[in-house]
Amino acid sequence: MTQTLLDRALIEEATKKSGLIWVRGPEGPARALWHVWHEGAVCLLGDGPVEQPLADLGLREGATATVSVRSKDKGGRLVAWTARVSELAPGGEAWTEAVGELKAKRLNSTDAEHVTERWARECRVLRLEPLGETSALPDGSLAEPPLPTPATTRRPIPAALPKLLRRGRRRG
């Protein structure tokens, strides 16, 4: 009983303080997701056109997922735990409370005034509730190559950039 209480406390504190968690659902690879800790569970928002993708993880009502939490300052794994997935119905009391927390933590929302209405139309809000004790952390690295994506940030630097940077140093 004492170990379960200690595990729950570790799960809650580590998850509250971490900006990202790694979630591995029944399908697909683990993915880093932003979240909030609310009422004893992780709340996730996703699957909308401009929100984080969740569908390919297989996170459905009643499924289980493995959550790994990293240290906010060092970035290393602190704790891993198993969660039961439930989907919150849009407009319900639990959904409204969770969305209020998510909205407060959502950065760079383009439509902050109407974001909750958009989330109700386009997105899913999931609740990942810990099932009990923590999982043993692996000895080795779980590093994997990045998933293929058409996104890119590598472009040739503009020819004038070095000159502009040198000029800026002289002024400052």
Please report the pLDDT score of residue 1 as a whole number.
Answer: 61
User: In angstroms, rounded to a whole number, what is the distance separating the alpha carbons of residues 2 and 98?
Assistant: 29
Please say if the pLDDT value at position 165 is more than 90: no
State the sign of the Cα–Cα–Cα–Cα dihedral 47, 23, 129, 60: positive
Domain ranges of the chain: 2-171
User: In angstroms, rounded to a whole number, what is the distance separating the alpha carbons of residues 53 and 84?
Assistant: 19
Confidence grade of residue 15 (pLDDT, cut at 50, 70, 90): very high
Percent of all residues in the chain with a pLDDT value above 70, rounded to a whole number: 95
Confidence grade of residue 112 (pLDDT, cut at 50, 70, 90): confident
Which of 71, 79, 70, 68 lies closest to 7 in space, CA to CA?
79
Confidence grade of residue 134 (pLDDT, cut at 50, 70, 90): confident
Please report the pLDDT score of residue 138 as a whole number.
Answer: 73
Please answer whether residues 129 and 84 qualify as being in contact, where contact means their C-beta atoms are separated by less than 8 angstroms.
yes
> Model-level pTM?
0.78
* Domain 2-171 CATH assignment equals 2.30.110.10: yes
Which tens digit of pLDDT belongs to each residue from 49-102? 888 999 889 999 999 999 999 887 777 788 999 999 999 999 999 999 999 999
Question: Using the 8-state DSSP alphabet, how is residue 165 labeled?
Answer: H
